[in-house]
Amino acid sequence: MSEIARLPTPANPGDDRQLPRNIEAEAAFLGAILIDNRVVEDLPVQLTAAHFFEPLHGRIFAQTMALIERNSIATPVTLKPYFEADEAMKAVGGVGYLAQLTGSGAGLIGARDFARQIYDLALLRELVDVGRTMVEGALDTSESVDPQAQIEEAETALYRVAGGEAEMGSVKSFNTASLTALQAAERALNSGGHLSGITTGIGSVNAKIGGMHNSDLMILAGRPGMGKTSLATNIAYNAAERFRRDEEDGIPPEKNMGAKVAFFSLEMSADQLATRVLAEQSGVSGEALRMGKISKEQFQQLSRAAQQLQTLPLYIDDTPGLTIASLRTRARRLQRRHGIGFIIVDYLQLLQGSSRSGDNRVQEISEISRGLKTLAKELNVPVMALSQLSRQVESREDKRPQLSDLRESGSIEQDADMVLFVFREDYYVAAREPKRPIEGDDVKIHAAHEEWAAEMERVFGLAELIVAKSRHGSTGKVRLHFDAKTTKFSDLADESQAYADYE
C-alpha cells in the first residue's frame, strides 16, 4: 500500500495515547470498500462511523455507506465533493487522501479481519470510558454517597458494552427499522395464526393481540382472586414450551414463536410457583397436590409432568424486596447467560424504587413503571408486569375493571404499551350465594337459591381478558375458560359450562 498521509495528533495526546486503536487498519478497510463496494455486504460485524477512532475515517465511512444505500457507486471521485471543504481532510493534503486509501488492494484480502478489529477496539475504548466514569464516580463524594446505585449504573454500562450497544449503536435508519417491521409481518403471515410476536399459548388471545412484542411493557391487572398469577404462569409455560418445541423441530431462532422466560416472583416462592405449573400441566388439583390428597395414578401423572418440565427454559427468581434497579441487573444477567426472550414480574407494587423517591409512593411507582419500560427496550423483549387494582372496583355494580382503577399511579397506564385486565364474574356471583334451603324453608328461600344457581351455571368457568389499551391494535375483550381446580386458562370451546362441576 502506498504511504498514507499522517493524520493530526489528537488534541489531548496525554489522554488519548493509551486508547486502543489501529488507524492503519481503518485506512486499509476504507480503501478496500472504495475499491470494491461489495465488501460491506459480507462483514462479520455491523460497523458505524462511531466505531472509527479517527473522526475523518468515520466521516468517510458514513458518506460511503450513504452512497451505497442510495445504489450509487462510492469511489474517491464520487466522494470528492463531500470532503473538499473538510478541514481535517485539508490537514492531510486534501481530497487526494481518498485516492491514497485505494493505493493498494492489499486491504481487500483482510477486509473482514480489519472490520472485526475496528469493532473490537471501539468496544475496548468504550470499556475504558466506562472504567474512567466508574473511578470518577467512586472518588466523587460531593453528593450523597450511594455505592449500590453506582454499582448498578456501572453494570448497566458494562452490559451495553458487552452487547455492543453503546451510544455508537443506538441510532437506526428508517430503512433498518422498516426491514424489522417487514420481518415481523412476514413472521405473522407464515405462522398461519396471525402471530407476529411471542405466543401466549391461547389462540383467542393471540388472535386479539398478535402475540407479545419485543420492547413492549404489558400490564396484567386484576383484583385479588381473579387469577392474575395463574394466567401469567400459563403464558410463561406456553411460551417456554413453544420455544423448546420449535428448537427441537430445527426452527431457527428468528422464526421461533416461543421464548425462554424469566419469572420474577416477589410474592410466591419458586417451589410454590412450580407447584402451580405442575398442577396446570398434570391436571391434578393444586389444592390436592399441596395437601397430599392424591391417588397413585395422580402421582404418576405428576411424575410424568415433572419429567417433561425438566428441560423447560423457564427461570424463576423469587428474591424478595427487589428494587427496580436490582431487577434490571438480574434480568440482564439472565439474558446474557440464558438468552431470555420474555420477562414476567409478579407483581409491580412489590418492587421498590430508589431511596430518592422517599415516602412518595406515586413517584416511586412512576419510577418502577418507567424502569420496566426501559428494561423492555434495553433487552428488546416483552415485559409483563402484574399489577393490583384499587378497591373502587368493588363499589361499582359492574365489577369489570377500567384504566382508572390501576393502583397508585397514572404512570402505569402511560408507560404501558398494553394493559390487560382479568375478570371472572363467577367469583362475585359465588360470593352472593343466598341461604341454602332445607326442608321446611319458605318457598322464597328456595326460589332465591334457584335463581342464584341458574346465574352461577351461566357464568361458572367463564373469564374475560379485557384489552383496555393497546398501542398495536384494537381494544376489546376475549372470553376464556378458567379451570378452578388446575387454575388453567384456555380457549372457550363451549360457553354452556356445567353447574355440576361447581362445589
pLDDT at 260: 92
pLDDT at 48: 86
CATH classification of the domain holding 337: 3.40.50.300
* 413 belongs to a structural domain: yes
* 487 belongs to a structural domain: no
Length of the chain: 503
- Identify the domain boundary among 120, 135, 150: 135
Please give the model's pTM, rounded to 2 decimal places. Answer: 0.64
DSSP bridge pairs for 476: 467
Give the mean pLDDT per block of 10 residues along the chain (503 residues).
49 59 91 89 82 93 88 90 91 89 77 90 86 76 67 70 52 51 55 71 88 91 88 92 88 85 87 80 71 75 78 86 83 86 89 68 84 90 90 82 77 87 88 81 84 86 89 86 84 51 37
* 434 belongs to a structural domain: no
DSSP bridge pairs for 264: 317, 345
* 146 belongs to a structural domain: no
Q: Which three cell numbers stand for residue 460?
A: 361458572
Helix, coil or strand: residue 297: helix
Q: Are 492 and 462 in contact (CB under 8 A)?
A: yes
* 29 belongs to a structural domain: yes
pLDDT at 278: 80
CA angle 300/306/309 to nearest 5° reads 145
* Residues 36 and 119 both lie in one domain: yes
Determine the Cα–Cα distance for residues 217 and 228; give it in Å rounded to an integer.
16
* Residues 234 and 89 both lie in one domain: no
Determine the Cα–Cα distance for residues 305 and 283; give it in Å rounded to an integer.
9
CATH classification of the domain holding 46: 1.10.860.10
Cα–Cα distances (Å) from 333 to 146, 423, 497, in that order, read 22, 35, 45
Determine phi and psi for 390, rounding to 5 degrees.
-70, 160
* 279 belongs to a structural domain: yes
Place of cell 462511523: 49
Q: Spell out the residues 6+ positions from residue 440 whose beta carbon is closer than 8 angstroms to its own.
A: none
pLDDT at 386: 93
* 192 belongs to a structural domain: no
* Residues 123 and 245 both lie in one domain: no
Count Cβ atoms within 10 A of the Cβ of residue 328 and give its class: 0-12 exposed, 13-18 middle, 19 or more buried.
buried
Domain residues for the domain of 64 are 23-135
Pairs from 450-455 (Cβ < 8 Å, separation ≥ 24): 453/499, 455/429
Element of type H or E holding 467: strand 462-470
What b/e readout covers 91-116, taking b as 16+ CB neighbours within 10 angstroms? ebeebebbbbbbeeeebeeebeebbb
Beta-carbon count within 10 A of 248 CB: 9
- Report DSSP letters for 328-390, one per residue: HHHHHHHHHHH---EEEEE-GGGSB--GGGTT-HHHHHHHHHHHHHHHHHHHTS-EEEEE-B-
CA 114 to chain centre: 33
Per-residue pLDDT tens over the stretch 145-194? 667 667 767 776 776 666 654 444 444 444 555 555 555 555 555 555 55
Q: Computed over its alpha carbons, how large is the radius of gyration of the chain?
A: 29
Helix, coil or strand: residue 483: strand
Place of cell 449504573: 153
Q: Which three cell numbers stand for residue 204?
A: 383467542
Element of type H or E holding 221: strand 217-221
Element of type H or E holding 318: none
Q: What's the longest Cα–Cα distance across the chain?
A: 111
* Residues 238 and 371 both lie in one domain: yes
pLDDT at 413: 82
pLDDT at 141: 67
Per-residue pLDDT tens over the stretch 59-101? 999 999 888 878 789 999 999 999 989 999 988 888 889 998 9
* 404 belongs to a structural domain: yes
When divided into structural domains, the chain yields a total of 2
* Residues 124 and 217 both lie in one domain: no
* Residues 214 and 321 both lie in one domain: yes
Helix, coil or strand: residue 462: strand
